[in-house]
Structure 1
């Protein structure tokens, strides 16, 4: 095996190599790695160490993680002491979950076989995860079969996980350990685990499609049975049809995604869902009305209604850009004056093209990226435009120029062989969010300032100027004025990026918003897991409201996730809360009398009644006060039996 590997490294494709003991899967992979310039002496994979970036990737893979939770828990318990570990990677080969023998998990850290590690073939050579992603088939890679010398003391078996809807590979489950754990049937184990994860995803998708159908039926006031109807999910995949014929004359079958539709149904997640969907439709399908479908306050799909005998109309989005932006603000949960003032500034800034640079200030965890997305959603030129985010704190000083401006082939050691576009090019025509801009090296800042003023970039190693039109939304948890005074941030760049400044208040300054957010995260998590929401005693709610929340909204969300995992009886008292929250002044010693349980449903009903009284029955103002959309308010009124003539 070693001789065959050496032949590949020497560039030999002589026929004698075929007589050496190497499987075709491994041979093909080795040659891909050699042709791609992979360092054969490499002893670890690259890894993302920024916690926020890792958490963001995990949130983006929540469906995969939830589907894998049960098989991972079952298998993980059996791996203790076996020398094996089970890992879950997303579609990009980045590890998002690890479980198994503690010693092996610890050893895996030496090669970055842990959460955040990237294990695609093009960065770490032949391995069970990356090669399974490349081939789309279950693969085992044993010891010397790895391409990189520093990983040959491991064995692994990986199986791709496919989306049950369209068959695309969305992740890999892999069993890894030292060579003595190798058994031929390891590949059967991971394949069975992959199939169980796929079944769980299929069940989840089926449930979501049913909820989308119910959401349409609840809002379909003007829909007639004779109209054409096409309902798509958040990926733009058709899940239901009625009286709809494709351009080729073929009817669209329920739950099917013909290849003819792949040209117009890209990933449609994020704040630009409706506009992206509208502009992606083929000309023959633009004679329709587009209706957003919301689940739990988030747009998770859309209904395309083709009215009978209508001719020559274009896609009609019923809301103006400013209205879209204000609806997008519903993802920023809260009704306090401080948060509503910040949302208002963001919406007004988004509506004008005169503001090309904005600065969002706020402590870690307050949700600064949500405001950047809100500005993107509210832009008058937002239709189909990109939103690109870069965390400046996660980029090394040496790679900053390449990340921002891109590079040409061979611009520096380690540069991509095909060259690379920077984030300014990728965001052209849209919004570029530079998170933690205060972390940007001082010697890079003049180049950023020049791009903002001249609106052209030069890739590293290239003399050609490339025009860019980008709205920059910078964010920071530092006091940039102090950074300027200390000489760590350029004064001219500060004034350039802070043309409009939005201060996002910490959670401790937002009054009752902590309880609104608690209810929001509790309900969303319960719906995703198809379980009942948690209930909180009055003492627990008092403690949560009195707590200072140094980690802000992120800390609150993490607490709710933790409580969902550890609570057995679904009722949360002071004893379930961390000590730093439970032991607040005035509440110590009150745990003995847990008090009555206040359900979120009752709290929600009371909040609506109070808002109706305060706003004298004006439903638009009530919805704004509660931080929900009018359709959601209507459903709540019906749910709680509150008469609309209440006021």
Structure 2
């Protein structure tokens, strides 16, 4: 009796009992049936089973029960009596209960006073819903025929529910045909419910009562109800499939048409696949269903499920992006995007780890917020054209300006395989600026090398020169830089010979250069020369939930470096990290994750493990103050308040609200509906 109840013995779907079974039932003789049962228990059954005066379905079930050691004198089924456990049981089968609601209501109204009850069991044979004649329902509890009762063959012998689960076919069991003595005063008819996705038996509809309710067509009734439930399940699955596809399109609209895409639902089942070989689909499915224990969660109830998948991806699948898909505020599925390697410069945005897929991992950019996407779009367009020879990247300290410079270099067809040279202007003394930029000949000045030295312009020729913190460049050096940009040639210090250079200059700054120009600290002509095209890298506080993606990225990266498991974060810790303003931006976040790796003893990061600056954040002195009533107590509170504040600030313009919050418009619509916020709220 150890057979998997979800593996049907016969392949026929919805088959009614054989004509021979019905004919035998019409000639049912309780005394003959009882003698056959007693003979079986006494070991006197003949070797030729067909000679027993019972139907083959009953005979086969009795044999299984006898060999399986079922107690034939049992009077009742086991039942879960803890109220909380019973309620949890019902909550764990929401799709099945929802699909059965309509037929159960329709049939249930007709059963009052008939002596019959209609029951719904899950795939484990546990009753999760009962409706019908009130007295019969009350009497049924004498044998635990109620919610929480377990009615598989291997615990309570031959019965309509357990035998239907075993055979995978509609079954009726009448009176003495039950194997256990305490149940022989009942009659029942059960029909299996199959999952439309894969045909697995996931439940049973059963009609039970005292023997006088028996009619051969009872089995037709429960079979029809089972088919209606299956149709409702199919409709619900199709609707959820459509909604998950829409959620994927909304959050990952920039994936390439030749990328492989596989979408799974919250049970880990592949509901959509494009450009993914069958073998790859099977690998992902096997990994989810049969991987480490951390990957065996039955539903995508939270991001921890996705985190566990990410950490167990095989090495050859590390380029796969995983995008959680939300419906009605809950993670209900995930999209696996397998980037094609034929064009590594194309951006694949919209995944859980949205990255610029380039050969140089130093150009990896993590995030999926609209503000970041806009900046990445500009960088990629600039990288793909040869017309822009200089540009300006603006952003606060720590936002990753050099990453964008590397992205432009990596995305360039011309310079991707040529030099990338970076110089931080704030780290060079005024005396050495000319030598660092333009180089020098031997003996050009005191301390100059005898052989001479090329400057960064010569070293970067053919590629990209990144001048970080260009606002720190001495004012008297700026005309020389402007001249090099105009003439595309340099003079080494102490040398009159012009040396041609072909350099794309990417200047970056954390200052407002317009203010610097107005105050006379930066040349206006140089500013206009380098800012023909500019990119504003958004601070982390304006990038929505990108902070969580970055935490995941640095967590995995540090875990790989240390050959240790990734850290796990409590919900309270994640709420605090998401609400934090990150004045130091990505650099501060990376340093914090590294600190947590160094100091963690248990591998679990709780609220108490975070610095006080994160758990009790003071208002950023550089940002507008908010009312004390806007204090954040939970992630949901933070989202609700952020939406309301953005609506007020943007006067109800949803496009601007979505941009301000760093989310897509479909996500904003779902959040408005979730929190009951009206569009006209100001």
Q: Using structure 1 for the length normalisation, give the TM-score.
A: 0.51
Does structure 1 retain, via aligned residues, the 8 Å contact 2:196–2:230? yes
Give the corresponding residue for 1:211: 243
Structure 1 residues 171 and 352: CA distance shift in structure 2, 3 A: farther
Give the corresponding residue for 1:54: 86
Secondary structure in 1 aligned to 2:43?
Answer: coil
Question: What whole-Å deviation, never above 9, does each CA across 1:590-627 have from its counterpart, x for those lacking one?
Answer: xxxxxxxxxxxxxx98883248779xxxxxxx99xx9x
- How big is the shift at 1:376? 11
Secondary structure in 2 aligned to 1:44?
Answer: coil
* Aligned Cα root-mean-square deviation (Å): 4.6
2-structure distance, mates of 1:281, 1:194 = 39
- Is 1:20 the counterpart of 2:52? The answer is yes
1-structure distance, mates of 2:666, 2:204 = 38
- Please point out which of 114, 121, 146 is paired with 2:146: 114
Would you say how many aligned residue pairs link Structure 1 and Structure 2?
378
Secondary structure in 2 aligned to 1:99?
Answer: strand
- How big is the shift at 1:226? 2.5
2-structure distance, mates of 1:512, 1:111 = 56
Give the corresponding residue for 2:327: 295
- How big is the shift at 1:308? 1.9
Does structure 1 retain, via aligned residues, the 8 Å contact 2:108–2:132? yes
- How big is the shift at 1:355? 4.9
Does structure 2 retain, via aligned residues, the 8 Å contact 1:287–1:311? no
Secondary structure in 1 aligned to 2:279?
Answer: coil
- Is 1:92 the counterpart of 2:124? The answer is yes
- Please point out which of 609, 623, 630 is paired with 2:644: 609
- Is 1:197 the counterpart of 2:229? The answer is yes
Give the corresponding residue for 1:223: 255
Give the corresponding residue for 2:137: 105
Secondary structure in 1 aligned to 2:145?
Answer: coil
Does structure 2 retain, via aligned residues, the 8 Å contact 1:235–1:265? no
Give the corresponding residue for 1:134: 166
Deviates more, 1:16-25 or 1:147-156: 16-25
Counterparts of 1:529-608 in structure 2, within 5 Å, are 608=643
2-structure distance, mates of 1:196, 1:185 = 17
- How big is the shift at 1:349? 11
Question: What whole-Å deviation, never above 9, does each CA across 1:62-102 have from its counterpart, x for those lacking one?
Answer: 11001101000000011111111000001111111101111
Question: What whole-Å deviation, never above 9, does each CA across 1:299-318 have from its counterpart, x for those lacking one?
Answer: 11111111121799xx9864
Unaligned runs of 5+ in 1: 253-258, 335-347, 357-374, 381-510, 521-603, 615-621
Secondary structure in 2 aligned to 1:218?
Answer: helix
Structure 1 residues 325 and 305: CA distance shift in structure 2, 3 A: farther
- How big is the shift at 1:225? 1.8
- Please point out which of 150, 156, 164 is paired with 2:188: 156
Structure 1 residues 608 and 197: CA distance shift in structure 2, 3 A: same
2-structure distance, mates of 1:177, 1:207 = 36
- Please point out which of 50, 62, 67 is paired with 1:30: 62
2-structure distance, mates of 1:176, 1:163 = 23
Deviates more, 1:184-193 or 1:604-613: 604-613
Structure 1 residues 223 and 9: CA distance shift in structure 2, 3 A: same
2-structure distance, mates of 1:124, 1:54 = 20
- Please point out which of 264, 274, 286 is paired with 2:287: 264
Unaligned runs of 5+ in 2: 1-32, 290-297, 345-350, 354-548, 556-566, 580-594, 610-628, 650-656
Does structure 2 retain, via aligned residues, the 8 Å contact 1:292–1:299? yes
Secondary structure in 2 aligned to 1:93?
Answer: coil
Question: What whole-Å deviation, never above 9, does each CA across 1:142-180 have from its counterpart, x for those lacking one?
Answer: 000000001000000000101101111111000000001
2-structure distance, mates of 1:228, 1:24 = 50
Secondary structure in 1 aligned to 2:278?
Answer: coil
- Please point out which of 36, 39, 43 is paired with 1:4: 36
Structure 1 residues 119 and 351: CA distance shift in structure 2, 3 A: farther
Give the corresponding residue for 2:205: 173
Give the corresponding residue for 2:307: 275
Structure showing greater Rg: 2
Structure 1 residues 153 and 327: CA distance shift in structure 2, 3 A: same
- How big is the shift at 1:223? 1.3
- How big is the shift at 1:222? 3.8
